[in-house]
Amino acid sequence: MLGIMPTHEALRRAQERGLDLVEVNPKADPPVCKILDFGKYKYDEKKKAREAKRKQSVVEIKEIKLRPKTDDHDLQFKTRAALRFIEAGHKVKFTVRFRGREITHPEKAQEQLDWIVQQCDELANVEVRPVMEQRTMTLLMAPKPAVMQKVAQARAAAEKARQKALQEGRAAPALNEQDEALRKLEEQLDEEDDDEDDDEEGS
């Protein structure tokens, strides 16, 4: 703390030390400045921002598409996929698409979504109840707080392991296995949706 002084005096002191005069709070009266190495300061700020970004929880919305005629086996597979997404801390949006005369039986889609809600009840809460929008019915489910707490703990442990590996000069762990498994699961769901569309066009 050097106290209040004219700008030229502060600049002279910074130059004598081979450092920079940096304004850190221009709105204060008088403005607050620090004498420091500006290059190192910028580097540290970027590093802090990267660390904060890595630690923050990113909640994605994963979409799972259904049809009123989706059979029980496919419905079970898609529900298991949804549970895996929820366990990983993601929200899941179920979209039931109606084609042609299917629109006259929305109760079939409602039954499917009610069954899904029951299956996911332990891990997720209904964030947006099933609603009809044009030719689709959607439902949004979000992980319960206890699930999000587990996800945060797992991420913190993974980050700790990564930091330890870097400190010991070892290679940081590769892409999170769970993330890779979820990516493959999404691809599988996309393929199933494409197959279902092909079946519909061919029928």
Residue with tokens 């707080």: 145
Q: What is the pLDDT along the chain (203 residues), one digit of tens a residue?
A: 788 888 889 999 999 999 999 888 888 888 899 999 988 888 888 888 877 765 555 668 899 999 888 888 999 999 999 999 999 889 999 999 998 888 888 888 899 999 999 999 999 999 999 888 888 999 999 999 988 888 888 877 777 887 787 787 877 665 566 677 777 878 888 777 655 555 554 44
Q: What is the pLDDT of residue 77?
A: 92
How far apart are the C-alpha atoms of 79 and 71, rounded to whole Å?
12
Taking the model in full, what pTM does it have? 0.60
Please give the CATH superfamily to which domain 1-43 belongs: Translation initiation factor 3 (IF-3), N-terminal domain (3.10.20.80)
Structure tokens of 60?
């994605």
Domains of the chain, by residue range, sit at: 1-43, 61-146+177-202
If DSSP codes are grouped into helix, strand and coil, which group holds residue 12? Answer: helix
Q: What is the pLDDT of residue 203?
A: 45
Helical (H) or strand (E) element with 91: strand 91-97
Identify the CATH assignment for 61-146+177-202 out of 3.30.110.10, 3.60.15.10, 3.80.30.20, 3.30.470.10.
3.30.110.10
**DSSP code of 92?**
E
Residue with tokens 């850190």: 24
81-104: pLDDT as tens digits: 999 999 988 999 999 999 888 888
> Is the Cβ–Cβ distance between 94 and 127 less than 8 Å?
no
The residue type found at 146 is A
Q: What is the pLDDT of residue 50?
A: 73
How far apart are the C-alpha atoms of 47 and 38, rounded to whole Å?
14
| Sign of the alpha-carbon torsion through 90, 64, 73, 111 | positive
